[in-house]
Amino acid sequence: MNRVRAVLAALAMLALPALPAAAAPLERAALAADLCGDAAAQARGAEGVVRAAADASAEDLRAAGHLLAALAERRLACGSAGALLLDRAGAPDGQDALTGATRPAAEARAPVLGLRQRALVETARAAVALLTAESVAARAAGLTTLERRAGAVPDAVLERARDAESDPGLRASIAGAAQAAALSSADPEKRRTAVAAVAAAPSGASLARLRALRGEPAAASDPAFARALDAGIASVERAVRIGDGLAILYNALSFASILFMAAVGLAIIFGLMGVINLAQGEFIMLGAYATWGVQEAFRHVAPGLLDLYLIAAIPVAFGATALVGIAVEALVLRHLYRRPLMSLLATWAVSLFLVNLVRVAVGTQNLQFAMPPYVSGGVPLYADFVVTWNRLFAILFAAATLALTLVVLRRTPLGLDIRAVTQNRDMAACLGLPTRRIDRLAFGLGSGLAGLAGVALCPIYSVNPGMGSGFVIDAFMVVVLGGVGSLAGTLVAALGIGGANVLIEPLSGAVAAKVIVLVGIILFLQRRPEGLFAARRRR
């Protein structure tokens, strides 16, 4: 019987190292003694801090963090009277690690860390920083260190950090790290639960994380885990495909909104006057620079209201570019009607003049804009699909511009006059309409709408003197495809061209996408030269 008891006792002693160590209380005196000891004692002290971090008080963790930082930076001196914290390495005096009293450090020595001990100390410092650091950046740095050594961190530490974290982004990162640690857990039930948790928050990162588990021994040895893993991967793959599709549609809609904003003014000018206005892109640029001017005025006059500058810039940009358009029509274009080649060259000269004028007056560098909260950031909607506020602003702004333009053209005397002159200029003149004045006002309206496009572009694109040249060709394609002078055709063509560009660009590149779209428009116009919606004209 005694022999049996001895064998059982020996087996119990052999089984003890395989059991997880219980979290010991974090005692400063014991920690200071361990850090001043040999390599084994230093490792024991650092590992004890990590194990106790889930339950220790914030005060004890901060004290442990000071001791660990002093050890790593060689500011910890150990002597017969206890551990000292030095202000710098080699300082003559230091503070007692327990009482805070000042003592000389003449007889104390600085312990040396080995490579293994240094790694354990860095892990313990990272755990303390994640739980007690005041700045988000310091807590994020601690999480980054712990993610590299996830196997040495108890789940309870990450759970405590996740529950206490106030920053939403960092809280999500901590939750992801906790899930990653649970995926490699030795407990099969915990692994399956972690797979379900990762699949419940689908993204490209979670898909890569789950796919990486397929080659691990747990997937081959545990059929239940393998089934749960396959189901989770299939669910995340389906969600990621849906999210990617939503992102493509959202980007296509935002790009189409920008195209519509750039082309709607040109549609009015081209449809009414037959003028190929190559300066339309520069009117967009002037609207963006007017927005920057409003921002600078707010910055100097009313800095507390700076977030409102983008809203205040809408009437300013429209009025400024409309006045420039009226001046261009009165000084240049009114002498060149019925001479399309000369008007084309004249508007090209105007575009060059405006670009160089802005370069001389303001400079060639990209302008810096302060992004208000309503155009900054975004919200994750599904999988990797994020609704960004700047593109949503452009979409809503384009919709509002369309509505106001329809009201002007359908419900105002100016709109009635524009439609009459568009249908039959000579008959409108015979009825007493001042066609020259209507041309001037219509050119100002089209130029002002281009200025509004510049406002919408400020939160999305780089603003510089040459920014407008990239929109002229696309705007003309939209106008010609939609039908000259047709607002509905301009909208439909912008949606079609914008969607085609966004769909083709990932497959063939930006340049090839534009070429393919242009070839498609040419083939379409050969069958239907008047475009999608031909403007009604009377002869």
> In this predicted structure, what is the pLDDT of residue 18?
35
pLDDT score for 451: 92
Interhelix angle 155-164/115-132, nearest 10 degrees: 30
Side chain identity at residue 440, one-letter code: R
pLDDT value of residue 282: 92
Position 152 scores a pLDDT of 74
Q: Round to whole Å and give the CA distance between 418 and 521.
A: 28
Contacts of 467 (CB under 8 A, 6+ apart): 281, 284, 285, 288, 457, 461
> CA-to-CA distance for 240 and 202, rounded, in angstroms?
7
CA dist., res. 306 & res. 308, Å (int): 5
d(CA 261, CA 454): 9
404 Cβ contact partners less than 8 Å away, ≥ 6 residues apart: none
Cβ atoms of 70 and 76 closer than 8 Å: yes
Q: Along the 539 residues of the chain, how does pLDDT read in single tens digits? A: 444 444 334 433 333 333 334 445 678 888 888 888 888 888 898 888 888 888 888 888 888 888 888 888 888 888 878 888 888 777 788 888 888 888 887 777 888 888 888 888 998 898 888 888 888 888 888 888 887 776 677 878 888 888 888 888 888 888 877 777 777 767 777 778 888 878 888 888 788 878 887 777 766 777 888 888 888 889 989 999 999 999 989 988 998 998 898 888 888 887 767 777 888 889 999 999 999 999 999 999 988 898 899 999 999 999 999 999 999 988 888 877 777 788 888 889 999 999 999 999 988 888 888 888 888 888 888 888 889 999 999 999 999 999 998 898 888 888 888 888 877 778 888 888 888 888 888 889 989 999 999 999 998 888 899 888 878 888 888 888 888 767 888 888 898 888 888 888 877 777 788 888 888 888 888 888 877 876 555 44
The pTM assigned to this predicted structure is 0.70
Cβ-contact 75, 86 below 8 angstroms: yes
Q: What is the pLDDT of residue 536?
A: 55
Q: Strand, coil or helix: what is 386?
A: strand
pLDDT at position 14 is 35
In DSSP terms, 86 is beta-bridged to 94
Helix (H) or strand (E) holding 352: helix 340-361
* Every domain of the chain and the residues it spans: 2-201, 242-462
Both tokens of 122, joined, read 């860095």
How far is the C-alpha of 463 from the C-alpha of 475, rounded, in Å? 18
Give the pLDDT of residue 157: 85
232 by Cβ neighbours in 10 Å (0-12 / 13-18 / 19+) ranks as buried
Query: Among residues 501, 522, 523, which one has the least CA distance to residue 512?
Result: 501
In three-state form (DSSP H/G/I as H, E/B as E, the rest C), the secondary structure along 266-315 is HHHHHHHHCCCCCCHHHHHHHHHHHHHHHHHHHHHHCHHHHHHHHHHHHH
Three-state SS string across 86-106, please? ECCCCCCEEEECCCCCEEECC
CA 296 to chain centre: 25
What are 295-343's pLDDT values in tens digits?
999 999 988 898 899 999 999 999 999 999 999 988 888 877 777 788 8
